[in-house]
Structure 1
Amino acid sequence: MRFIAVAVLSLLPVWAQAVEVGERLAPWTLLDQFDQAYTLNDQAQVLLVARSMDAAKLVDAALQGQPKGYLESRRGVFVADIQRMPRLIAKLFAVPAMRSYNYRVMLDRDARIAPRYPGPVDKVLWLQLDNGKLVAQREYSTAAELRQALEQVRP
Structure 2
Amino acid sequence: MKYATALLLCLMPLLANALEPGDRLAPWTLLDQHDQAYSLDAGTQILLVARDMNGAKLVKAALADLPEGYLEARNAVFVADIQRMPALISKLFAIPAMRDYNYRVLLDRDGRVASRYPGQDGQVQWLQLEQGKLVSQRAFADAPALKAALETAPRH
TM-score by length of 2: 0.91
- Cα distance in 1, alignment partners of residues 95 and 4 from structure 2: 39
Which residue is equivalent to 1:151? 151
* 1:88 and 2:105 matched: no
Q: Give the superposition deviation at 1:8.
A: 5.6
1:59-97 deviation digits (Å, cap 9, x = unpaired) = 000001111100011000100000000001000000000
Task: Give the residue type in structure 1 aligned to 2:18.
Answer: A
- Cα distance in 1, alignment partners of residues 71 and 12 from structure 2: 34
Which residue is equivalent to 1:129? 129
Q: Which runs of 4+ in 1 moved over 4 A?
A: 1-11
Which residue is equivalent to 2:52? 52
Which residue is equivalent to 1:31? 31
**1:49–1:125 contact (8 Å) kept in structure 2:** yes
**1:14–1:115 contact (8 Å) kept in structure 2:** no
**2:17–2:118 contact (8 Å) kept in structure 1:** no
* 1:97 and 2:97 matched: yes
Task: Give the residue type in structure 1 aligned to 2:56.
Answer: A
Task: Show structure 1 runs of 5+ residues with no match.
Answer: none
Determine helix, strand or coil for the equivalent of 1:44.
coil
* 1:62 and 2:81 matched: no
C-alpha change, 1:36 and 1:24, in structure 2 (3 Å) is: same
TM-score by length of 1: 0.92
Percent identity between matched residues is 61
Task: Give the residue type in structure 2 aligned to 1:140.
Answer: F
Query: Number of matched residues?
Result: 155
Task: Show structure 2 runs of 5+ residues with no match.
Answer: none
C-alpha change, 1:6 and 1:82, in structure 2 (3 Å) is: farther
- Aligned-residue RMSD, C-alpha: 1.9
State how 1:4-23 maps to structure 2 within 5 Å: 9=9, 12-23=12-23
**1:80–1:106 contact (8 Å) kept in structure 2:** yes
